[in-house]
Chains A and B, each alone.
Chain A
């Protein structure tokens, strides 16, 4: 190694024993010298007259276009036989509210639900642990006294500001009685900010926010109040 370094005293770029020219910024500059920091223009003749590459680009986009159209027509022959799901359709995007991506993770953290006792009362004992654990301060609980002294308390109101929630799942972990859970439902949209506050009744209904058969768009979700 030592001899190698000795040979290459000036730290030249040695490739196959040939010394490559040093990049300009490594050398010492004399005053007034114009130094080119950027790479010299290295377009070939074909690139400079532009037309061949225009045609190449047009060929590429036309190829994608035709490929997608052919794929789509093949899909159409499947679709008229009622087997649309079996063939590819060409586009990588989907008709969002009409189609959902099937590849959501089963452990995806989404909309909250409140679990229930056998008599449809909320399981929650209004202990405020989830509200305390919540890093986004988006759970608001008003406790009331439960007639059953063994249960002590129940939530009179239980509001989650779903637009502030960061879906961290801490509330789920903090709960001592498994009263709050996060589902995989992510279609949480609305036209009004007030309606992004989910109240107790809504959290107790476990219906998904979007129901395909009824042609309900996520924003058209029927809500009380």
Chain B
């Protein structure tokens, strides 16, 4: 039994799940609050936890001021959804109706498995540094005995088909809307399901096409290798991030991802003004909550994908750490180690910096998606289809051909 691998896997797993599930909750608050700030309002601030304040003359008064800027609203939402009656209408197809919400949540969570969020790290060296700092030498020896100098990836599954896995799992998300709408036995739900199926299938087509340009340039679909390559620099200063390689494809890829998420500029499947709530009209309580949760977690997953593919994943420009094979191949004059702007630092600083950098970029893109959600008006259905098939698909095809030709001419 490879205990070291197991421990690292559990560490990675708890980090990813902790970040994703918490972001899913916090983003509901961010969505409300950011929309308010963008519109010169204050936003959600009413949910409070009552605090008893003992009075001088005996008795207590319950303060209603502990609102923490409305952060409790997410918890209040969750509590409400869990405690509401979970009503299953009598006319639905029970089995499919109950299984559909899970098709929404699971693919979203699983997609994150191949996203590298911290790059290579040596847990033995990192943890013994930390324990040595606080003077717990026995713990240092223990972790060194367990991990040694082995290098692990901060990524749940280091698959060599990374990007294909994203598309494969992502496309199963269609099932959630289609099955939910079909099983609900309701015309609004069915219309929502039809719309979502056609929209998601259309946008999946050129989501793959849009990213193929990058794949041609990098020569791999392994997310981990793509992330490592982005640590390289051009002309000594410009990081070799995807956004500098294919800036136009960034917009197309993001449009496709947002259409997959079925949120506001592309919210045809649920279109409140036309279809009540679209494919989850008949859902109540936590089953409906699962759809919402999947939507909000997908914001974080999309942000993670954009970061990993276009914004240098975990790299901080100019900072290079152990195990960065491409960087050290390009700089034979330096011995591999942990360098920040040419200075050697403890390994833990590099690791924390990289994870911090990834999280910062991830949060920025979460913010950006919510900015889009509160800025752009909803498309009409024919506009969505025209945009997808007549504009974005040809553009990404042309881009793919041109990229391939250029890569062939200059030799990669």
Contact mask B62-102 → A, CB, 8 Å, 1/0?
01110000000000000000000000000000000000000
Q: Which residues of B contact A206 (CB under 8 A)?
A: none
- Say whether, besides A61-B371, A62-B371, A91 and B40 are in contact (CB < 8 Å): yes
**Provided the pairs A51-B251, A54-B376, A95-B45 are in contact, do residues A61 and B64 lie with their beta carbons within 8 angstroms?**
no
One of B63, B371, B376 near A65 (C-beta < 8 A): B371
Report the Cα distance A215→B63, complex, angstroms.
7
- Cβ contacts B366-386/A at 8 Å (1 or 0 each): 000001101110000000000
Q: State whether the Cβ of A19 lies closer than 8 Å to any Cβ in chain B.
A: no
Known: A90-B40, A92-B40, A95-B45. A61 touches B61 (CB 8 A): no
Given known A-B contacts A58-B372, A62-B371, A93 and B42 have beta carbons under 8 A apart = yes
**Cα separation A58 to B40 with both chains bound (whole Å):** 16
Provide the bound-state CA to CA distance between A54 and B375, in Å: 9
Contact A58 B375 (CB under 8 A): yes
**Contacts of B38 on A, CB cut-off 8 Å?**
61, 64-65, 68
Give the chain B neighbours of A60 by CB distance below 8 A.
375
What's the Cα separation between A60 and B41 when bound, in Å?
A: 16
Contact B371 A215 (CB under 8 A): no
B401 at interface, CB cutoff 8 A: no
Q: How many residues of B contact A (CB 8 A)?
A: 19
B140 at the interface (CB under 8 A from A): no
B45 touching A65, Cβ below 8 Å = no
Contact (Cβ within 8 A) B37 A90: yes
Interface check B34, CB cutoff 8 A: yes
Chain B residues whose CB sits within 8 angstroms of the CB of A57 once the complex forms: 375-376
Within 8 A of A (CB), among B256-284: none
Tell me the residues in window 40-69 of chain A with beta carbons closer than 8 Å to chain B beta carbons: 51, 54, 57-58, 60-62, 64-65, 68-69
CB <8 Å contact, A95 and B42: yes
Q: Which of A64, A65, A217 has the most CB of B within 10 A?
A: A65
**Nearest-CB distance from B279 to chain A (Å)?**
27
Partner of A68, one of B40, B375, B376: B40
| Interface pair A68/B37, CB less than 8 Å apart | yes
Q: How far is the CA of A91 from the CA of B371 in the complex (A)?
A: 17
B238 at the interface (CB under 8 A from A): no
A94 to B41, CA, bound (A): 8
Q: Per a CB cutoff under 8 Å, which of B41, B372, B376 touches A91?
A: B41
Contacts of B36 in A (CB 8 A): 91
Residues of A154-191 at the interface with B, using a CB-CB cut-off of 8 Å, are none
For residue B41, which residues in chain A have a CB less than 8 angstroms away from its CB?
A: 91-93
Q: CA A95 – CA B41 in complex, angstroms?
A: 10
Interface centre among B34, B37, B65, B371 (most CB of A within 10 A): B37
Contact in complex: B40, A64 (CB < 8 Å): yes
Chain A: residues with Cβ within 8 Å of the partner, total of 22
Q: In the assembly, what is the distance between CA of A165 and CA of B122, in Å?
A: 75
Are the C-beta atoms of A61 and B375 separated by less than 8 Å? yes
Given contacts A215-B61, A215-B63, contact A93 B375 (CB under 8 A): no
Closest chain A residue, CB of each to CB of B383: A50
- Minimum distance in angstroms from B46 CB to a CB of chain A: 9
Name the contact of B371 in the complex, choosing from A58, A92, A93 (C-beta under 8 A).
Answer: A58
> Which A residues between 76 and 94 are near B, CB-CB below 8 angstroms?
90-94
Give the residue among B42, B45, B63, B372 with the most A Cβ atoms within 10 A. B42
Chain B residues within an 8 Å CB radius of A54? 376
When distances are taken between beta carbons in the complex, the residues of chain A under 8 Å from B376 are 54, 57-58
Smallest Cβ-Cβ distance to B53: which chain A residue: A215
Which B21-51 residues have C-beta < 8 A from chain A? 34, 36-42, 45
**Which residue from chain A places its CB closest to the CB of B37 in the assembled complex?**
A68
Q: Which residues A14-53 have CB closer than 8 A to chain B?
A: 51
User: Which residues from A are CB-within-8-Å of B34?
Assistant: 65
The smallest C-beta distance from B45 to any residue of chain A, in angstroms, reads 7
A42 shortest CB reach to chain B, Å: 19
Q: Least Cβ distance of B105 to chain A in Å? A: 29
Q: How far is the CA of A54 from the CA of B61 in the complex (A)?
A: 51
Q: Mark A89-104, 1 if CB is under 8 A from B, else 0.
A: 0111111001000000
Q: Cα distance A92–B375 when bound, in Å?
A: 19
Given contacts A58-B375, A61-B375, A62-B371, contact A215 B40 (CB under 8 A): no
Chain B residues with CB under 8 A of A214: 61
A55, closest chain B residue (CB): B251
Q: Which residues of B contact A62 (CB under 8 A)?
A: 371
Report yes or no: A215 in contact with B37, Cβ–Cβ below 8 A: no
Contacts of A92 in B (CB 8 A): 40-41
Which residues of chain A are near B251, meaning CB under 8 Å? 51
Cα(A94)–Cα(B241), bound, Å: 44
Name A's B-contacting residues (CB within 8 A).
51, 54, 57-58, 60-62, 64-65, 68-69, 72, 90-95, 98, 214-215, 217
Of the A-B pairs whose beta carbons lie under 8 Å apart in the complex, a sample of 12, sorted by A's number, is: A58-B371, A60-B375, A61-B38, A64-B37, A64-B38, A64-B39, A65-B34, A65-B38, A91-B41, A93-B42, A95-B42, A215-B65
14 new A-B contacts, CB < 8 A, other than A64-B39, A72-B37, A93-B40, are A51-B251, A54-B376, A61-B38, A61-B371, A61-B375, A64-B37, A90-B37, A90-B40, A91-B37, A91-B42, A92-B41, A95-B45, A214-B61, A215-B61
Across the A-B interface, give the 9 residue pairs with the lowest CB-CB distance, nearest first: A61-B375, A91-B42, A92-B40, A65-B38, A68-B37, A61-B38, A93-B41, A57-B375, A93-B42
